[in-house]
Amino acid sequence: MDFNTSTALITGSSGGIGEEFAIQLAQRGAHLVLVARRGDKLAKLRDTLTVKHPGIVVDVITADLAVPGSGAELEGKVRELGRSIDVLVNNAGVGLHGKFVLQTPEANAAQIQLNCGTLVDLTARFLPAMKERRHGVVINVASTAAFQPTPGMAVYGATKAFVLSFTEALWQECRGTGITVLALCPGATETEFFDRTGEEFLTDGRQTSQQVVDTALAALDKSSPTVVSGLRNVILASGYRVTPRKLMLAVSERLLKSN
């Protein structure tokens, strides 16, 4: 897929998978709108990318997308910049680790808002213009956690199941419109995600952000709504089809326990 001179909005782009999307899309000649809470890291990434790729424009928007109404505010800032979004990468997300009963209602509400609410909101705000132009890309970052319940990260897994279902439905609705929709399902990846949970788990077989983004960009040229990154993750994600639900819950809980 040709990204040259297109404009990509990437949420959660101050590190990890979002940062890697920015790096790889910049290499392909895309202009960027980088969004995250950490403005200092975004500014550093912008400076690095514009030095390496002087032909692109990189805008930085600092925003907390876990706050209700943040999608509308972000859309307004993009409009003020005069940017038309061709590629939307809904990457921002958070996961709480531990038993649900020990988590606060406020933290889980913020998790649902970020992982689901704002993702849907941003898609709703930028997709119609793509449809009018009959050209665009929407990549929603789900997870292999989307394929089965995840005791120990109950709300996180449920939010990613929502993202997967929403994105696959959107893929079907957008067929024949010139818009490419993809649900990206990474497994455990070497990012700050695990640092933020304050726990060590899923330490074996982690992929790099580069491997995940390589998989996503390669999948855009194929006619599939979903891609799972990594053969091991493909096998694990497909296990739900043949594993009894009760056994699957026990295995999933064991995998997510802290080391």
At a CB cut-off of 8 Å and minimum separation 6, what does 241 contact? Answer: none
Tens-place pLDDT, residues 37-88: 999 999 999 999 999 999 999 999 999 999 999 999 999 999 999 999 999 9
Concerning whether 240 is annotated as a catalytic residue, the answer is no
Taking the model in full, what pTM does it have?
0.91
d(C-alpha 179, C-alpha 173), whole Å: 10
Task: Delineate the domains of the chain, giving CATH numbers in brackets.
Answer: 7-255 (3.40.50.720)
Tens-place pLDDT, residues 194-241: 555 565 556 566 799 999 999 999 999 998 999 999 888 888 778 777
List beta partners, residue 33: 9, 59
Among candidate residues 156, 171, 193, 194, the one labeled active-site is 156
Number of H helices, E strands in the chain: 10, 7
Helical residues (DSSP H) of the chain, grouped into ranges: 16-27, 39-52, 70-81, 105-112, 118-133, 154-173, 193-197, 209-219, 231-238, 245-255
At a CB cut-off of 8 Å and minimum separation 6, what does 239 contact? Answer: 148, 248
